[in-house]
Chains A and B, each alone.
Chain A
Amino acid sequence: MLQAINLHLWRGDQPVLRGVSFQLAAGHCLQVLGINGAGKSTLLRALSGLLPVEEGSVLWRGTDTRLDRHAFHAQLAWMGHGAALKGDLTARENLRYSAGLRRALSAAAIDAALGRVGIAAPDPRLARQMSAGQQRRVALARVLLLACPVWMLDEPTANLDAAGQAFFALMLTEHLERGGVAVVATHQALGIDARNLQSLELT
């Protein structure tokens, strides 16, 4: 479903990605490993199209993603370093104004997603009053709400406690069972069925 062919990317005269290739079938997850600075985030940004690659191509269902960027992005749930939450909005408002931009969402759907990630629905707190782990959970709720077949997640379990990590493993498993694909950059064990897991070590 998702395929990368020989991706090359330089930062200045420093090569970051040197011929990265992989192929992900429906229901599979790619875990991107590598020491800090190995280019895990760069790879994710290149796959998503945020960062143009110098060589190679990313194929989604056999079509180069650069040919129809909007169509590919409509299928993509992205989670970057930042939680992309507004400190002065509540969790519910944050989701309404971010995931809600792409899909019409009812208040009940948002509350259900927040409930799943372990945030009691009518939480009156503003996002800046939440802990880093709770903000991460809200960002995960956004990924759930977008209901996209492709997930690209950069360190999704950072700041999450054991229960949060267990929940992430569950939501990832369900996503893969529905036939989605995921690219996850993290060092932590993902806790999903090894048959669905591919890993890519960047050096």
Chain B
Amino acid sequence: MNGVGDAASGTGVAALRAGWLLMRRDLRLALRRPGEWLQPLVFFLVITTLFPLAGNAEMSRLRDIAPAALWVGALLSSLLALELLFREDGQDGTLEQLAVSGLPLAWMLLAKTCVHWLLTGVPLVLVAPLAATALGAPVAAIPGVLAVLLVGSVALSLIGAVGAGLTLGLRRGGVLLALLVLPLAVPVLIFGASATARAIALEPFTAPMYLLAAIAVLSATLAPLAVAAAVRISLE
């Protein structure tokens, strides 16, 4: 019994180490080609600034559409970066290597998804004060808006990774990816936008925020398994 436990903890440590190494690799790659993750960020800023231009520029009206603008922007920009999540690794054979490496594939792909979130979700949260202020959110509301986006972007990355795994084998999977991911992301959009709306109105937003956090936790538990299954199918 002891031996089995030791072996299991040994592979656990090995998997932790491998996941960390894979994250470092992806971060290093991202540093060498910043365009890939800067583009979705700029896209987010452009979308959110288009809303006041296209609509009524009156402050109180802007404040009404701010949650919708922020969340549609966040959703679309996260979708933009998703296509790149597994594509290159799938084409050059890296995923194949991972799938037959004896390491838990779900864990390794979760590590990749974490990097994706660090490169798309976190920068989005960092520039969100700019977008929120432009949309007329009061300064006091900014911390709440950021907290909601931070939690919501975790869920978006995880849900998106499932779609990215499923469309991996397709040559032009972009549109299909959007069709797969957008319906799944609707709950995130609903609770995220409603929590943001309350934060901007300076009301308590804990109820929708808890639901959002529940979605994030649920996707963190289930999505890695689904991603691994999807990638294995795509590699066949």
Contacts and interface: CB of A to CB of B under 8 A. Distances in A.
Interface of A: 48-52, 70-76, 78, 80-86, 88-89, 93, 96-98, 100-102, 104
Contacts of A86: 25, 29, 88, 92, 94
A83 B33 contact: no
A88 B96 contact: no
A83 B101 CA distance: 15
Contacts of A97: 21-22, 24-25
A166 to B, nearest CB: 25
A82 B92 CA distance: 5
A84 B33 contact: no
Nearest to A76: B100
A83 B11 CA distance: 26
Contact of B33 (A74, A88, A100, A101): A88
A35 B25 CA distance: 38
B99 interface: yes
A73 B101 contact: yes
A100 to B, nearest CB: 6
16 contacts: A48-B100, A49-B100, A50-B236, A70-B102, A74-B102, A76-B100, A78-B100, A82-B92, A84-B92, A89-B32, A97-B24, A101-B18, A101-B101, A101-B103, A101-B108, A102-B18
A84 B89 CA distance: 8
A97 to B, nearest CB: 4
Contacts of B101: 73-74, 101-102
Nearest to B108: A101
Contacts of B187: none
Nearest to B19: A101
Nearest to B104: A70
Given A82-B92, A98-B94, A88 B102 contact: no
Nearest to B96: A80
Contacts of A100: 21
Nearest to B91: A82
